[in-house]
Each structure stands twice: as structure tokens, then as C-alpha cells.
Chain A
Amino acid sequence: MQRDLSVNFYIIFKWVIIISFVFYAVFPFLWLVLASLKTNAELLDDPFKLPEVFQFKNYSDAIQAAGLGRLIINSLVISTCATFLNILFASMCAFAIARHTFWGKNVLFLMITAGILVPLNALIIPYFAIINFLNLYDTRLGLILVYCSVGLPVSTFILTEFFKSIPKEIEEASFLDGSNFVSRYFRIMLPLALPGLATAGTFQFILCWNEFIYAMLLTSSTDIRTIQFGISYFTNQFFSDYVGMFAAVVISIIPSITVFILFQERVITGLTAGSVKG
């Protein structure tokens, strides 16, 4: 009897904890979406009351007035290019490291992956100087290069582990067939490593899309700026248009959540493969 009681308590405890954290994680987002569909006057009212009319106008206003369309396209272009380059360079390097023996290989791998632990935000002043020196200040290329490089350690780590897990025999067979280095990479390894590429790519894309500090540091014109900086700009531009600001924040959130929902198994396995071993 007493036993049953404690079992029940544990089950109640369990669901209280889980539900309250789900509430904590999700409720603010629901509130944000609801608030973004109200008028500024309704916002000051009861937060749980549905708006009289759903103000989808807030979204079109945000896109037009703040030029969000431009910012979203910039973000997409920069994130896509940076992800592509990052995965290309990281997979090339990972292929060399994982499938070959050469002098200095272990040092190279250790050095690049140690980059994961560097608190990069300490380096904002040097990054600013380097990008200026390369004449890349306020260009998309500058941001693409920075994002591609910042993600290299994680991508190289994930992909090296992945390449190592592919059986050697497959590659050796083609080696005997006389296929060369480059075609082994493109024809054999890349197709086999697609799940690994997807994992690393998803990570990299979310990192690029969400990045804020370098976007603020390295660009200045509205033609180049990205969405993350764009939404913070809202606070200054429209002092009192809170609902417009909320609509912009919702718009900025949608792509990363979509990518996550689509690739969630990849994100979660990649995250754990990467960090549990490290």
C-alpha cells in the first residue's frame, strides 16, 4: 500500500517537472505569436484574450516598412553560401584526415578541433581588423568567409568521425581499380557520407542563420545586413510599434525551427555524436 503511494508520487512528480519545463520553453513563443497578431492597444490588455481581428497586416507591414524581405534574402544567401563552402572545405579536410596517413595528421586534427573550445567572441576586435584589412568590410563575402571559418572545427570533427565509420574495404576496392584521390572523394566517399554531410550542414546552417555579433560588427549598410541584426534594429526604428517588432521576430524564427523539425533526428544524433565523444 505504502509502496503504491510512493510510486504514484513519483509519477506525479515526473509529469509536473516535464510539463512545467515544456511550458517554460514553449509558452513564451505562443504568447509571442499571439501578440504579433494583435493591435498595439490590445497588447496592453489581457494577454490571453484573442485579438478582435487577427492582424496579419503586422507581418506585411514588418516586411515592407523595415525591408525585412531584403534582410531575409541576405540571410539566406549568406547562410547557404557559408554552409556550402564550410561543408566542402571541412569534408575535404576530413577525408584527408580520416582515410589517409600523413605526417602531422594528428596534430592537424587536434589543432582544428581545439578550435571548438576557443571563446571566439573574445576576438571581435581582431576579426574587425582582419576583415577591414582584406577590404571585405560591409560585404556579403566577408560574412560568408567568417561564418564558414567559425564553423570549421565542429564540421571537421563531425565529418572526420563519420568518414572513419565508413568501412575501409569499399574504398580499397576502388583504390585497386585505379581510381584516383579526387574521384575517390567525389564518387565514393561523398555519396556514402550523405547523412554525415546533412548533420554537419544542418548545424552550420542554423549557426549562420542565427549569428548576431559578427553580422553587427562587420556590416553597416542595410543592403548587406542580415535578419538577426534587422530584428534588433526594430527596437530603435519603431519605438512604439511592438506588434510589428513581434511579427519580425516570429519571421526570423521560422526558418531555423523549420530546418530543425525537418532534420531533427540528424541534429540530435550529430549533437550527441559530437559532444559525447569529445
Chain B
Amino acid sequence: MKIKKDEVIWLLIFIAPAIGLFFLFFILPILFLFITSFTNWDGISAEFVGFENYVKLFNKKTFIRAITNNLYWCLTAAIITVPLALIIALLLAHRSRGWKVFRTVLFIPQVVSSAAIAMLWAAMFNSEYGLVNFLLDYIGFSDYQNHNWLGNVRTANAALIGFSLCYVGYFMVIMLAKTASISDDYYDAANIDGASQFQKDVHITAPLIKSTFFLCIILAVIFNLRQFEYVYLMTAGGPANKTQVLVVYIWNELSVQRLGRGNAAGVIMIGIGALLLLTLRKLLKSETYN
């Protein structure tokens, strides 16, 4: 709708709060992050130091470990969590009795705070009273009695990444919703040809929700790049920095007042995020056109 002249002022008033807050909490912080990443800012004074922060970061083993761990999280989500979610979505798409209940129940971990989930799973993995060890013992893996999953250098990462599978529900719900838009004609035609349920799932439903599948991978990558609570609350990056991730690394730099260095890590994180997003989008485009 065209606006009357005297309404321009109202239009400005309506968009002003959103623009103001967006500037204050999105644009300004990003500019600030970028500029101070070239200084040795410690909260009081700042001097320009060029690329020193970046050079130092890339020479730190812990920082490289944080990047690779973040990439592990993303990769696990992309090749395990999201495909599993796809399988469950295909199965629930049959809409057999009770499918809505299963959908709701599987989605629940997503609405619970990450802090609560982290504490819950830290308790699950606890060596004295945790349920994981008890169940393993119960089914016969007695080696794991009193095994400290999160405190052991070999198992900490596996435990952390393993529990994150409880988030399949989120991606499943997104893909399941997409299946609702598929026309029944396809299935009717397949039924006439005598296709089995499995054939219909694999040859009709799956290809038709491909774009949503890729979207879920993009979402999974973003979430796993910025994750903080699990590592911070369950292992604090340990043992021996084995489970370090980028945001926890930045947090640690903040707590020792190396703000410039922390911000350089932030710039690298945003850069990695942008790079992953662009690559995935490119893959997605070439996939949809083929």
C-alpha cells in the first residue's frame, strides 16, 4: 500500500525501535568485534597490534583443537543426526496411529534449555550414579563400571557428541511438515503400480523433501558452531582441553581479560560460519538443479 504523506512519520516511528536495536546488538557488535580483534585490548587500554592476535591463535594447539571439535560437532550432525531424523520423518509420514504423540515427544528435548539438558546428561554419564554405566553393566559390558565418561581423555568427546543425538526431533519435525505438502496423487499412482511402502518412502517421499533435508543440514551446522552450554557445563573444555570448542575458548579469553584475542577468535568463528554456509548453499543449488 502507498503511504499518505502525513503517515511517513508514523512509518518511521514504527520501524525505528527494530532498527535501533538491530544496530545496537547486531551491527555495532560485529564492527566492534572486527576492529578490536586487531588490538591488544584488555578492557582498559587498547593498542593496534595488526595481525598478532590471529597469528598467536593459529599457533595455539588448544585453539586448533577447538576449531576441529566444532567441525566434528557439525559433521556428526550433518552425517548422523539429520539423516536419522530423515528416516524417522519418513516413517512418521505414514501417519499411522499415534504419530502426533511421537512427534511431540521427540520434539521435547528441543524446548528444554541447553543448560538443563547439559546437567541432565552430565548426571547420566556420572561414574557413581549415572544411568549410562548402569545400563551398560546391565546388558553385560561390565568393563564400564565406574567409568568416568566425561573425565576420560578417550571417551569425553564421544560421550558429548553421542548425547547430542537426542536432538533428532527438531529436524524430524521440520522434514515431517514438508511431507504434508506432497500430493496424494503420487502415492495413488504408486499404489496402482503395486509399490511397497518402503519403495514409496525411498522413491517418492525422500526425493520430494530433499531441499528441506539440506536446509536441516544448514541449521544443524549453525547450531553446532555456536554451541556452548554442553561443553561448558559438562566438561568445561577438559580433560586436557580435549573437548574445547570455539565459544568456550572465547569465554576463557574473556575471563582473563584478553579481549582483543577473544574477539579475533570471534571473527574467525563468524568467518568459518560464513564459509560453511556459502559452501552448503552452493552444494544445495547444484543439487536442486541436477
Of the four ranges (under 10, 10 to 19, 20 to 34, 35 or more), the interface on chain A belongs to: 35 or more
| Majority SS at the chain B contact face | helix
Of the four ranges (under 10, 10 to 19, 20 to 34, 35 or more), the interface on chain B belongs to: 35 or more
Determine if B18 and A260 form an interchain contact, defined as CB atoms under 8 angstroms apart.
no
| Chain A residues near B45 (CB-CB < 8 A) | none
Shortest distance from the beta carbon of A167 to any chain B beta carbon, whole Å: 13
Shortest distance from the beta carbon of A97 to any chain B beta carbon, whole Å: 8
Instruction: Kindly state whether residue A173 has any CB partner on chain B within 8 Å.
Output: no
**Bound Cα distance A209, B26 (Å):** 21
Give the interface segment out of B49-57, B59-67, B101-109, B150-158: B101-109
Determine if B120 and A122 form an interchain contact, defined as CB atoms under 8 angstroms apart.
no
Given A10-B196, A29-B108, A96-B15: A210 in contact with B25 (beta carbons within 8 A): no
Determine if A100 and B173 form an interchain contact, defined as CB atoms under 8 angstroms apart.
no
Instruction: Kindly state whether residue B192 has any CB partner on chain A within 8 Å.
Output: no
**Bound Cα distance A24, B81 (Å):** 13
Determine if B254 and A125 form an interchain contact, defined as CB atoms under 8 angstroms apart.
yes
Among A28, A153, A175, the residue within 8 A (CB) of B124 is A28
Shortest distance from the beta carbon of A265 to any chain B beta carbon, whole Å: 10
Among A44, A89, A128, A242, the residue within 8 A (CB) of B18 is A89
Among B21, B116, B124, B251, the residue within 8 A (CB) of A31 is B124
**Bound Cα distance A3, B3 (Å):** 66
Shortest distance from the beta carbon of B150 to any chain A beta carbon, whole Å: 13
Determine if A126 and B32 form an interchain contact, defined as CB atoms under 8 angstroms apart.
yes
| Chain A residues near B121 (CB-CB < 8 A) | 28
Question: 8 A–B contact pairs at CB < 8 A?
Answer: A14-B94, A25-B105, A118-B273, A124-B266, A130-B25, A153-B22, A228-B113, A232-B115
Task: Give 9 A-B pairs besides A101-B1, A118-B270 with Cβ atoms closer than 8 angstroms.
Answer: A18-B91, A25-B168, A90-B18, A122-B250, A130-B24, A130-B32, A171-B1, A181-B7, A242-B123
A contact set with B: CB distance below 8 Å: 3, 6-7, 10, 14, 17-18, 21-22, 24-26, 28-29, 31-32, 35, 43-44, 46-47, 88-90, 92-93, 95-97, 99-102, 108, 111-112, 115, 117-130, 145-146, 148-150, 152-153, 156, 168, 171-172, 175, 180-182, 185, 206, 209-213, 228-229, 231-232, 234-235, 242, 245-246, 249, 252-253, 256-257, 259-261, 264, 267-269, 271-272, 275-276, 278
